[in-house]
Amino acid sequence: MKIRSLKVRMGRRGFTLVEIMVVMTIIAILISILVPAVGFVRESARGSQCRASLRQFFLGFAGLADRTKTENYTTGAFDPSRDGCPDSIGWVADLVNAKVCKPQELLCPSNPAKGSEKYLDILSTPTSASGENTTTAKQSLGRCATAVDGTALADHFLAKGYGTNHMTTWFLSRSALRLQRTGSGDSATIMTVNAGAQKGLAGSRGPLTRRMVDQSPVTSNTIPIAGDSNLGDIKERYMTTDVIGTDGTVYLKQGDLLVESFNDGAYARSPMVKVSADFEVMAQASTGATGLVADEQPAKGLPKKMNLERSHLQDYRDFGVVHGGGSNVLFADGSVKTFSDTNGDGFLNPGFVTTSAATSGYAPETIPTVELPEVDVFSGVFLEPLGSNPKTNLD
């Protein structure tokens, strides 16, 4: 009887408080180890998905270059005001209309913003950006010819694939500055930027071509053409209305974040000032030339200047560091590389010197942290072999 009673008491024995606390501690430790690991694995998967999308975009760019005599990689930027209606003109339209892919279905999953600031232009009546376009004819193409509201944006554009949260670079969308001669006689050799702004069609040569890449002194695996996008400027980074299709699909809600379409182009390295209308490129017979060509294509025997020595660099603040502090960038050879925001200011710096984060966003540093080294990313102005030491007039 005593033996049976002992067995019953032993069978009913539960965990002690100490044992429960030990088990809970072990579980907490395992969770603390596993949760970051799971998060890392998920972000790694999202990063891989984003890189695959960028490679898919390149296949479409290369296909368009194969089909056109001019070998253009694209017909333009995703920009209704500067280039034309995004269902007819621009890299997104090129990919959708050629049935390569639908960028709206290949959004970067790590980016908190799920649409482009250019949706705001689609919703309004596209107008020519002052001083940047030579014509507005392309802006009346496609669905943009009539008024577009949130439902039409959803049904006609996003549902059909004409949407994105990726960005392209100034090189892909604009390729080169539009140069012109001024003056007469010997002084006619001075080259200046066209009066139109560099981000528009009047101030640039238009979309990048394969021929330009092949003939460039800059290697194709260092020419960035697209990538993860950063949030738009304050006045353009929020959706102004709900974007809901007639079938009930919710694409965006009022107040949702939006991203940039493409980067601005070249800025003075210090202080950061956009290329202006009287921006001198080279002068054979005048004084005061900035010598920009010599920065990147020096005369034989002279050293090539590094980013921290050049007078102008590409403004790459529009690259978004959305992958755990990193940003995926697509290059003109089809490769994709990831670059890290090592100083944590939220931007990738090719070498700009700034004194105030309030004006540029870059961390103020006497010697800037170069997060886009020149061996990996070209951050200069000219892709074409212009030559810094042209022959004199022999006529």
The DSSP code sequence of 325-390 is SEEEEEETTS-EEEEE-TT-SSS--SS--BS-HHHHSSPPBSS---SS-TTT---SS--S---SSP
Is residue 368's pLDDT more than 80? Answer: yes
Does residue 89 sit within a domain?
yes
**What whole-number distance in Å separates Cα of residue 59 and Cα of residue 167?**
16
Does residue 191 sit within a domain?
yes
Q: What is the pLDDT of residues 305-358, one digit of tens each?
A: 899 998 889 999 999 999 999 999 999 999 999 999 999 999 999 999 887 655
Does residue 394 sit within a domain?
no
Is residue 11's pLDDT more than 60? Answer: no
Does residue 365 sit within a domain?
no
Identify the weakest region by mean pLDDT among 25-39, 102-116, 171-185.
Answer: 25-39
Rg (CA), the chain: 27
Q: What is the pLDDT of residues 173-215, one digit of tens each?
A: 999 988 877 666 655 555 666 656 788 888 889 999 999 999 9
Does residue 73 sit within a domain?
yes
**What whole-number distance in Å separates Cα of residue 208 and Cα of residue 31?**
50
Q: What is the pLDDT of residue 24?
A: 84
The per-residue pLDDT of the chain, averaged, comes to: 84
Does residue 102 sit within a domain?
yes
Tally of domains within the chain: 1
Compute the average pLDDT of residues 32-37. Answer: 66
Does residue 7 sit within a domain?
no
Both tokens assigned to 356: 């105030």
Identify the weakest region by mean pLDDT among 16-25, 100-109, 310-319, 339-348.
Answer: 16-25
Q: What is the pLDDT of residue 61?
A: 98
Compute the average pLDDT of residues 84-97. Answer: 95
Domain hosting 152: range is: 18-360
Does residue 385 sit within a domain?
no
Percent of the chain with pLDDT over 90: 54
Q: What is the pLDDT of residues 255-303, one digit of tens each?
A: 999 999 999 998 888 777 666 544 555 444 343 445 677 788 887 888 8
